């Protein structure tokens, strides 16, 4: 996925009425699913559900920020992407930290709740991915939106696998393992976004000289 992140070719900057409408749609989808999944994660004592809910919240903020900076200078858009990349790193740290904490907390997540909510979240994310597919390549601001949507879809498949693992083993270890994998995915996406954003900030600085 990172092959198209470098180079100085012109990239789609998000200035499109259709793209703005899609962003509004995915903002609504992700905000709704954050509330649903976090509530379910707390009720089911599932760290994977909570991690995925946090990803929904991060995506809601990402899409809102992306929408706000459309049409602004390359430096502003790259800076916004840089902030989003850093926030993904912080999200990864939170998930890893809370996952380690869960190792020492008794209680097995409710696999049934994880499965039902996981399917609902997957449907929501597939809808977002389909809406954004046309604009998966672009500047760091646009690309960060795509990466977050892709992460959500992958994360929901992982939550379903965790639910199956919890049900099959009767332990919380599959839930913890999936949460850790999701944190790694957040961190890798963060590295990609930050790298492209820094490159675009350098390009903007050179153009201003």
pLDDT in tens, 13-63: 777 888 899 899 999 998 998 998 889 888 877 776 777 787 788 778 878
Contacts of 119 (CB under 8 A, 6+ apart): 160
> Quick one: tokens of 194?
């930050």
Banded model confidence at residue 107, pLDDT cuts 50, 70, 90: low
The CATH class of the 14-208 domain is mainly alpha
Q: Which residue has the higher pLDDT, 46 or 93?
A: 93
- Would you give the DSSP letter of residue 135? G
What is d(CA 90, CA 73) in angstroms, rounded to the nearest whole number? 26
- Domain boundaries defined on the chain: 14-208
What number is the average pLDDT over the span 137-150? Answer: 80
Tell me the pLDDT tens digit for each residue of 122-139: 898 889 888 888 887 778
Place of tokens 């904490």: 101
> Quick one: tokens of 56?
């929904």
pTM exceeds 0.75? no
């Amino acid at each position: 996925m990172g092959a198209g992140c470098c180079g100085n070719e012109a990239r789609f900057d998000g200035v499109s009425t259709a793209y703005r409408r899609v962003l509004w749609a995915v903002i609504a989808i992700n905000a709704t699913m954050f509330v649903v999944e976090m509530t379910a994660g707390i009720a089911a004592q599932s760290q994977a559900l909570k991690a995925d809910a946090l990803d929904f919240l991060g995506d809601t903020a990402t899409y809102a920020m992306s929408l706000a900076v459309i049409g602004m200078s390359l430096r502003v858009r790259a800076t916004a992407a840089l902030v989003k990349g850093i926030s993904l790193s912080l999200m990864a740290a939170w998930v890893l930290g809370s996952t380690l904490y869960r190792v020492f907390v008794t209680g097995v997540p409710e696999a049934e709740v994880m499965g039902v909510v996981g399917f609902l979240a997957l449907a929501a994310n597939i809808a977002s991915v389909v809406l954004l597919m046309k604009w998966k390549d672009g500047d760091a601001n646009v690309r960060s939106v795509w990466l977050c949507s892709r992460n959500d879809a992958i994360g929901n498949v992982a939550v379903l696998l965790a639910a199956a693992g919890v049900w099959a083993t009767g332990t919380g270890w599959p839930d913890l393992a999936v949460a850790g994998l999701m944190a790694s995915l957040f961190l890798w996406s963060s590295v990609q976004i930050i790298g492209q954003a820094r490159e675009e900030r350098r390009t903007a600085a050179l153009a201003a000289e």
